[in-house]
Amino acid sequence: MNAPSSHLDRRSLLKTMGAAPLLAAIPNVVRALNDSDVIVIGAGLSGLNAALLLEGEGVNLTVLEGRDRAGGRVKSLRNIPGNPDVGGTAFGPGYARLVDAARTHGVDLIDITPVVPYFFRRELILDDEVIPATDWPGHRLNPFPEPFREVMPWAYTNVLVGSNNPLQTTDAWLDPANEKFDIALHHWFSQQGQSDAVIELAYNTNPTHSGTAWDVSALQVFMAAAFAGMQRQLAAAGPIMGYTAKGGNQSIPEAMAAALKSEVQYNKTVIGIRSGDSGAEVHCSDGSIYRADRVVCSVPCSVLRRIRIDPMLTGLQDKGVRTLISNAINQIHIVPKKPYWEDDGLNPNMFTNSLAGMVLAEHKGAVPEDITSLTIWIRGLNAAWMDQQATGTAIAAVISDLERQRPAAKGQLEVLGYKSWYRDPFSAGDWAVWQPGQITEFGAEVATPHGRIHFCGEHTAIANRGMEGAMESGERAAFELFEVL
């Protein structure tokens, strides 16, 4: 297989942009005596990006997906006005790979700059008390020290980390020089002189990673903050602060899947991967077996440990796959029967320390001020509690909690969508959570090729996170294969 020179030029360009090293000349692919050259497991952004890059170089491949759709943890609710997302909600102009994929495959992007200001306006409700922002600096429930008493709870962690982040670049979280920060975020907060009450309100109330600040490495939070800071800088260079895709962000992986020459095989739950001297086999729960020279596996560790791998993973890579968890986070999507916030005079957005967690209005209508739906974000220990309940029981408890805090909402909340990522059998959680010490121990090991198996997924990304991290990891896996096929 001789690669077209245009593709070789593109590889050289990617290399100069900081992508994984490539061979100066890609050898012809040696076809295995199997069904295809490569099997890609997973039709999320990482797997699809790897597949498209490989196919672009003439590699014959098969894509297997356990779900009945493309997108993985990027999912849009098409039954709700505005197509809100339950995974992969928005992205900045600095998501270069994702933006390029959308434009390459004909997906229209919507500039969300006009609605961004609405996102930051929220009602603070603590212990069922509505606390106006003007009252917060002197309020009895405010545990923040000077000079941070005016900072709202949802912004406090970002403010503290932003002014003390030791990472100068987004890939520095894997630098051994920063191992001293691979400690519980709670410990780092304490080192900054923050009290337990501050940590409880600023982080544990609505945590971004894991259940509490005890359960996540400060290094991961630093990396996320560095990435967000980089995105803000890139956005500041132009007029656009962010995007969503027309029809919901799931439209992007759907278009990527449609662009493949080989049709994605859906409803294929992988239960085993065998890697041998002569090739690889992938076994599915329906009894089907697929053979290829190599395998690209984009499955998160929380699910990968359920798949039998032969020969078995060993050492730190095995420990990483068996212990790296994915974030528990739930969403309830509501279309209000009427704008009840006009009756009580409060903002529909809420930050609470109760079961309802955080409520954000979706502004996806004809004009920025239009509210098309509401999303309730339930995180941390509240999400863990919900995941132990029957779905109806869990939803009813959250709705009851919201109505107690906002009596005007009683009887006005029509639930049209619910998602527990922990209960999703193909993800068992959302983004990866690195617990204290794990980055130092096996952060560089989880993506190491194992025999004929190559790994990708946002948990293997180095310099990006979220959807862009997934795209980055798929790119790296493809480059690995260019060197061995």
Average pLDDT, the chain: 93
User: Residue 391 belongs to what H/E stretch?
Assistant: helix 391-405
Report the percent of the chain where pLDDT is more than 90: 93
Q: What is the pLDDT of residue 16?
A: 40
Query: Rg (Cα) of the chain, in Å, rounded?
Result: 23
The answer, yes or no, to whether residue 28 has pLDDT greater than 60, is: no
Fill in the amino acid letter for 474: G
Strand partners, 351: 124, 358
* Lowest-confidence segment of 4-8, 171-175, 279-283, 422-426 by average pLDDT: 4-8
Contact 336, 402 (CB under 8 A): no
* Distance between CA atoms of residues 312 and 421, nearest Å: 27
Q: Omega into 153 within 30° of 0, i.e. cis?
A: no
Q: What is the pLDDT of residue 17?
A: 40
Q: 98: which 2 tokens? A: 């994702």
Q: Say what the alpha-carbon torsion angle 19, 175, 222, 458 is, to the nearest 10 degrees.
A: 40
Instruction: Compare 13 and 139 and report the one with higher pLDDT.
Output: 139
How do residues 325-384 score in pLDDT, each as one tens digit? 999 999 999 999 999 999 999 999 999 999 999 999 999 999 999 999 999 999 999 999
**Average pLDDT score over residue span 37-62:** 98
Instruction: Compare 237 and 269 and report the one with higher pLDDT.
Output: 269
The answer, yes or no, to whether residue 19 has pLDDT greater than 70, is: no
How do residues 95-135 score in pLDDT, each as one tens digit? 999 999 999 999 999 999 999 999 999 999 999 999 999 99
Number of neighbours of residue 476 by Cβ within 10 angstroms: 22
The answer, yes or no, to whether residue 424 has pLDDT greater than 60, is: yes
> Which residues in 195-307 belong to E strands, given as ranges?
243-245, 270-276, 279-284, 289-297
**Average pLDDT score over residue span 229-247:** 94
**Average pLDDT score over residue span 461-469:** 97
The answer, yes or no, to whether residue 24 has pLDDT greater than 90, is: no
The answer, yes or no, to whether residue 34 has pLDDT greater than 90, is: no
Q: What is the pLDDT of residue 31?
A: 35
The answer, yes or no, to whether residue 27 has pLDDT greater than 80, is: no
pLDDT band per the 50, 70, 90 thresholds, residue 21: very low
Report the percent of the chain where pLDDT is more than 70: 93
* Distance between CA atoms of residues 117 and 120, nearest Å: 6
Q: What is the pLDDT of residue 7?
A: 38
pLDDT band per the 50, 70, 90 thresholds, residue 35: confident
Q: Please tell me whether the overall predicted TM-score, pTM, comes out greater than 0.85 for this model.
A: yes
Residue with tokens 């293997």: 460
> Which residues in 301-349 belong to E strands, given as ranges?
308-310, 325-326, 329-336
Q: What is the pLDDT of residue 64?
A: 98
Q: Omega into 336 within 30° of 0, i.e. cis?
A: no
Number of neighbours of residue 388 by Cβ within 10 angstroms: 9
Contact 441, 217 (CB under 8 A): no
Fill in the amino acid letter for 413: L
Q: What is the pLDDT of residue 58?
A: 97
Q: What is the pLDDT of residue 13?
A: 39
Q: What is the DSSP string of 394-437?
A: HHHHHHHHHHHH-GGGTT-EEEEEEEESTT-TTTSSSSEE--TT
Q: What is the pLDDT of residue 191?
A: 98
